[in-house]
Amino acid sequence: MTPIIIANWKMNPVTLVKSKRDFEIIKQGVKNVKNVKTVVCAPFVFLSNLKPGSGLALGAQDCFYNDKGPFTGEISPVQLRNLKTEYVILGHSERRKYLGESTELVNQKIIAALAADIKVIFCVGSETEKPGKEIKYQLEKGLKNIKEKDFSKLIFVYEPVWAISTTKNKIIATPAQTTKGCLYMRNILKKIFNKKTAKEARIIYGGSVDSKNIKGFLKEGKMAGGLVGAASLNPYEFIRTVKEAAKA
């Protein structure tokens, strides 16, 4: 499976000028990397100014569960699609933590995004070192009423909460831990969807990924890609991460 490397810029950068500049640097840097899919998930406010192409796709970091209507401050998947947004991150642990987003809400958002033909980067993770009950719950409830035919539009992210943005104190997951997480998730998916479909699920890893550790996660960890937060804020480091992934 061709690996996918996704930048999650979170609430960065602060200016439109920098967002455009960084996006263009990344576009130039990855345009000749053929065997990796590359995506940048940018804040809503910048999306209409970023021009995907040359192998770089555009993603958002959230969406609402209706197409239009009286929902002050919300952004719909149809509006995102209109801006050439191909992907959306849903279920991120930071939204659960800071905005109290529930798995039921995430489920509604996933359904709406898929209906608007947007690929969903569905994050699941737990506080515990071993993958456990929380992940099972997030997958089962988060995927309620998702049709088998839409399965190929889903990217699953194994994102242990304790491993996010920890580059400073170096508590990162090992490739062996990500393999376990991936296996655990696949076994749950086999119970939700048919076995063959679940076998083909794209499961990627997120949590302090950078150019130095990505190869380990892809090769030894057997992940199908990476979600890169902090390390994607330096466009050159993100390009290096994509190029390292191409070598895995």
Q: Which is nearer to ligand PGA, 106 or 198 (CB)?
A: 106
Residue type at 183? L
Rounded to an integer, what distance in angstroms lies between the CA atom of residue 10 and that of residue 12? 6
Options 94, 101, 159, 244, the catalytic residue: 159
Q: Which is nearer to ligand PGA, 184 or 210 (CB)?
A: 210
Q: Whose Cβ is closer to ligand PGA: residue 3's or residue 207's?
A: 207
**Cα(92)–Cα(169) distance, rounded to whole angstroms?**
22
**Position closest to ligand PGA via CB:** 229
Q: What is the smallest separation between the CB atom of 51 and ligand PGA, expressed in angstroms?
A: 23
Beta-carbon contacts of residue 145 (< 8 Å; ≥ 6 apart) = 107, 111
Indicate if 140 belongs to the active site.
no
Q: Establish whether 159 is a catalytic residue.
A: yes
Provide the minimum distance between the beta carbon of 232 and ligand PGA in the complex, in angstroms, as a whole number.
7
Scanning the structure block, which residue is given the tokens 């569960």? 65
**How far lies 22's CA from each of 141, 199, 234, 235, in Å?**
36, 36, 8, 6
Surface-to-core class of residue 239, CB atoms within 10 Å of its CB (0-12 exposed, 13-18 middle, 19+ buried): buried
Residue 52 or 59: the one with the smaller Cβ distance to ligand PGA is 59
Taking the complex as a whole, the smallest distance from the CB of residue 230 to ligand PGA amounts, in Å, to 4
CB of 156 closer than 8 Å to CB of 202: yes
| Under 8 Å between Cβ of 230 and 208 | yes
Q: How far is the CB of 168 from ligand PGA (least distance, A)?
A: 10
Q: Which residues bind ligand PGA (CB under 6 A)?
A: 8, 164-165, 206-209, 227-231
Active site residues: 92, 159
